[in-house]
């Protein structure tokens, strides 16, 4: 019976379970559609209803009457037993049995299967979530989301800001559900545009990336394997990771991330050629205090072919990652993903001045980070200098 009730939009209960299992594994819409014999558009519609978040599996509470108990009530009525006698035989209160029979047509019209189906349908009343019940919490969450904070950053900040007030705590998963499952009507749909991905539903973390980085051989490069051990431990500030993010019309921005604090710098470059990139990096990195100029780790892009000029100008040794190994500069890779919120793909990046890029970097550096125990990169950098100063 319950499987028939849960059959929606042409999918059986079993197909629906398989859909969510495959989605969680990171399969594409086309792959899921082929497996279920459905068009990818049908799969999109099913996922969109729930915001890409698998709905909780419904189950009966042990306190409510089961289908077998309703069958027992029906047999007792047919046998001419009183409702009290039926209740005693079942170990239920007489009032429970009386209400059950009364709301389903009385003794003469009571049918177990009809009563059970009605009870299952009525139990689907939506339960208000935490944000719907707590207006101050909802307002705080909406305010921080509008500042481009991620739900995880918001949840972490709330715990740090209100350590003793549990009513102001909420999980990042609840925030995501309130955003993506619009039937809840708790957070405005417009806030989705402030998420870094701007997607209308959740995607699996196992989804394989479709991007591939191009690699270029560089003369006189020094491998990351020769990098000092202190860099890997993040115990000393001044070690940076860098890369370019690309836009339309062959436009680019250089990104630099300090490994210990995750402090980010954005650098306006005139082109992807090594002269333009190295000159721009020398200009901006040269403004840093000496204690923040130690090393730079880059991928194998040819834009840093003239890395020796950068080292001479800044006294920072450049180390290059292994081919096809973006995780070796993971802090920078993660930051570049965050920056796509401000610079979506196919955006012409050439129109941004260095002043504008500094403002975007400031916004990013004032966001709390989970990896920093929800301190912001600015706060982390200030604490580093306080300890060393």
Instruction: Indicate whether 148 and 11 sit together in one domain.
Output: no
Does position 204 have pLDDT exceeding 70, yes or no? Answer: no
Give residue-wise pLDDT tens across range 358-371.
999 999 999 999 99
- CATH, residue 321: 3.30.420.10
Instruction: Indicate whether 138 and 100 sit together in one domain.
Output: no
**Final residue before a domain boundary, out of 155, 172, 194:** 194
- The per-residue pLDDT for 378 is 95
In a domain, 189, yes or no: yes
In a domain, 201, yes or no: no
Could you list the residue range(s) of the whole structural domain that residue 34 is in? 2-49
Q: What is the mean pLDDT of the chain?
A: 84
- CATH, residue 99: 1.10.10
Instruction: Indicate whether 87 and 162 sit together in one domain.
Output: no
In a domain, 333, yes or no: yes
- The per-residue pLDDT for 182 is 53
Number of domains into which the chain is organized: 4
- The per-residue pLDDT for 345 is 87
Instruction: Indicate whether 259 and 376 sit together in one domain.
Output: yes
Instruction: Indicate whether 112 and 165 sit together in one domain.
Output: no
Instruction: Indicate whether 33 and 74 sit together in one domain.
Output: no
Cα 374 from Cα 154, distance rounded (Å):
9
**Final residue before a domain boundary, out of 122, 140, 162:** 122
pLDDT bin (cut points 50, 70, 90) of residue 214 is very low
**pTM beyond cutoff 0.95:** no
Instruction: Indicate whether 165 and 73 sit together in one domain.
Output: no
Instruction: Indicate whether 142 and 231 sit together in one domain.
Output: no
- The per-residue pLDDT for 146 is 87
Segment 73-77 mean pLDDT: 92
Give residue-wise pLDDT tens across range 144-190.
988 888 889 999 999 999 999 999 999 888 888 777 765 455 677 67
Give residue-wise pLDDT tens across range 299-308.
988 899 999 9
Instruction: Indicate whether 229 and 187 sit together in one domain.
Output: no
* 126-133 long-range contacts, CB within 8 A, separation 24+: 126/183, 126/184, 129/174, 129/177, 129/178, 129/184, 129/186, 130/170, 130/174, 131/170, 131/174, 131/175, 131/178, 131/186, 131/187, 132/178, 132/184, 132/185, 132/186
Does position 48 have pLDDT exceeding 80, yes or no? Answer: no
pLDDT bin (cut points 50, 70, 90) of residue 211 is very low
């Amino acid at each position: 019976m319950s499987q028939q009730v849960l059959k929606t939009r042409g999918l059986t209960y079993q197909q629906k379970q398989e859909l969510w299992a495959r989605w969680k594994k990171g399969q594409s819409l086309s792959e899921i559609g082929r497996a279920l014999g459905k068009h990818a558009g049908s799969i999109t519609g099913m996922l969109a209803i729930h915001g890409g978040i698998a709905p909780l599996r419904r189950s009966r509470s042990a306190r409510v009457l089961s289908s077998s108990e309703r069958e027992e009530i029906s047999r007792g009525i047919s046998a001419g037993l009183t409702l009290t006698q039926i209740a005693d035989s079942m170990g239920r209160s007489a009032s429970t049995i009386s209400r059950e029979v009364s709301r389903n047509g009385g003794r003469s019209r009571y049918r177990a299967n009809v009563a059970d189906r009605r009870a299952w349908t009525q139990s689907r009343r939506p339960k208000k979530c935490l944000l719907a019940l707590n207006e101050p919490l909802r307002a705080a969450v909406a305010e921080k989301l509008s500042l481009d904070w991620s739900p995880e950053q918001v949840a972490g900040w709330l715990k740090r800001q209100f350590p003793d007030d549990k009513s102001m705590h909420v999980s990042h998963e609840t925030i995501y559900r309130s955003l993506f499952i619009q039937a809840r009507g708790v957070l405005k749909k417009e806030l989705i545009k402030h998420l870094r991905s701007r997607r209308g539903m959740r995607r699996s973390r196992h989804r394989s990336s479709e991007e591939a980085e191009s690699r270029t051989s560089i003369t006189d490069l020094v491998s990351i394997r020769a990098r000092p051990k202190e860099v890997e431990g993040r115990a000393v500030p001044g070690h940076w990771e860098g890369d370019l993010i690309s836009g339309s019309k062959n436009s680019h921005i250089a990104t630099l991330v300090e490994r210990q604090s995750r402090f980010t710098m954005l650098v306006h470059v005139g082109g992807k050629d090594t002269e333009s990139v190295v000159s721009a990096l020398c200009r901006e990195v040269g403004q840093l205090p000496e204690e923040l100029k130690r090393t730079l780790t880059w991928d194998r892009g040819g834009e840093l072919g003239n890395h020796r000029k950068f080292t001479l100008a800044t006294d920072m040794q450049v180390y290059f990652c292994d081919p096809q190994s973006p995780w070796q500069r993971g802090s920078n890779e993660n930051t570049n993903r965050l920056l796509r919120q401000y610079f979506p793909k196919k955006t012409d990046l050439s129109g941004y001045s260095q002043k504008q890029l500094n403002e975007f970097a400031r916004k990013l550096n004032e966001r709390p980070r989970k990896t920093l125990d929800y301190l912001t990169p600015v706060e982390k950098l200030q604490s580093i200098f306080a300890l060393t100063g």
